[in-house]
Structure formats: C-alpha cells, structure tokens
Copies of this chain bind each other. A is one copy, B any other.
Amino acid sequence: MTIEKEYSTKLSIDGVTVDRRDVEMLAAIDRRGSMHAAADDLGRSYARLQNRVVEIEEAVGPITERRRGGPGGGGTELTETARDLCRQFDRHDAELDGVARVTESVFSGTVRERTGELATVDSAVGSILALVPDGASEVQVSVRSDAVVLTDPDETPRADGTSLRNRFTGTVDRLESGDAITRVTVELEADRPIQALITNASADRLTLEPGRSIAASFKATAARAIAVDSP
C-alpha cells in the first residue's frame, strides 16, 4: 500500500476559479485559433466551452479576441492577459508538483516558546524553529528535502552570517543518484533521518559517501508543523 501525494492546481480571480481544464482549454484555443477546433481537440462541446470563456472573461477581463465572419469564417485568439494567466498557472502548478514529488522528513516534538507564527519545537534531534499553527502543543514538523542544505561541518558554523536558523549534524547514511540529482539520507540520531535533494555536482564537491559527517540546515520558514492530538 503506497500513498501518493496529489493535488489539484487552481487560481482564483474575482470570484471565478480557473483550474487545469480551463488552462488546457485556453492552450487548445491558442493552438488551433478557433473555439470550435479547440472543442474538437479536447472532445468537449463547443457550447460549454464558449460559455466558460465568457464566464472567465466576466471576472478576469478580455482573455480572447473573438471574430465572427471574415477570413476563414472568423476565429479566436488569446490576449496577453490570457497568456500571463496560463504562465502563472503553470508556475503555481510546478511548485505544487514539486511538493508532491519531493520527500519530506518528519520530526515529532512539543512546542516550547512561541512568537507569532514561529515556535521552537523540542524534538529527538534537538530544538527546531518552525512555522507552527496556532494552539498546537504536540506537533509534527515536516521539512521538504529540496529545502535542506548540506554543508561541510568543518567550516565555521558562521551562525551570524546566514538566515539558516536550523542546523543539525549527522552522518551520511545513503546516496541515491539520478542523472543530475542525488537524494541524500543523513542520520541525525538513531532512526531519525533527514533527507536532502542536491545536485550531483554538490554531492561530489562535498565528497559525500556513507559514514561521512555532514551538517544539514534548513530555514525556519521552510519548516512547517501540524498539530497532533494524541501523542
């Protein structure tokens, strides 16, 4: 039984929420130059598709230039507004996709001090500064592996020169290399691993290999906690 993280991407503008289907519709219109052809491409009915364009347009403003009659009988072209919208959707989608693909490291702990949205969490690997929801006491802190920075522990910690607020040392446990990216598992304490996604080039420069001592750091604003009722 494997659990896969999924999501669906949306943008909300003045009441309407445009989803992937809408963006694909706009892409098809752009590709084919007409709404009828786009509807054919997508296997959708022209009527619904046209209604949807108008619906979005009422909230967002002109996203198409539609001509009826004329050369070729007419046609529809996207405005720059529509292209911007699609790009923004794509960027948001790419970020969400990142969250779904990337592994996370989880640390259970209890909230100590709190200032605003931030709090220090006492965990088995030490105290973690993280974003903690209001009123939480027992929490799980999760850190995305693409947010974990690895550094040579021999370098001076330079605690003052950086905005990386969480720093832990451990030993490299496992390396899984892809074409360009290596997933590094670092054992902080017994059975308390943290994972980091780094480029193969970084793995080389850091001379990573199982057993090597290494420091794993991450920003407080990249560490997110959830409340856990039962300890």
A residues whose Cβ falls under 8 Å from a Cβ of B: 1-14, 17, 60-61, 83, 85, 87-88, 90-100, 104, 106, 115-118, 129, 131, 133, 140, 142, 144-147, 149-152, 155, 158, 160-165, 178-181, 196-199, 201-203, 205-206, 219-222, 224-228, 230
Contact = CB atoms under 8 A, between A and B. Distances in A.
Contacts of A205: 160
Copies in the complex: 2
A140 B87 contact: yes
B181 A164 contact: no
A96 B98 contact: no
Contact of A199 (B5, B150, B165): B165
Nearest to A59: B1
A231 B134 CA distance: 44
Most B Cβ at <10 Å: residue of A85, A116, A227: A116
A179 B88 CA distance: 29
A83 B227 CA distance: 12
Nearest to A13: B3
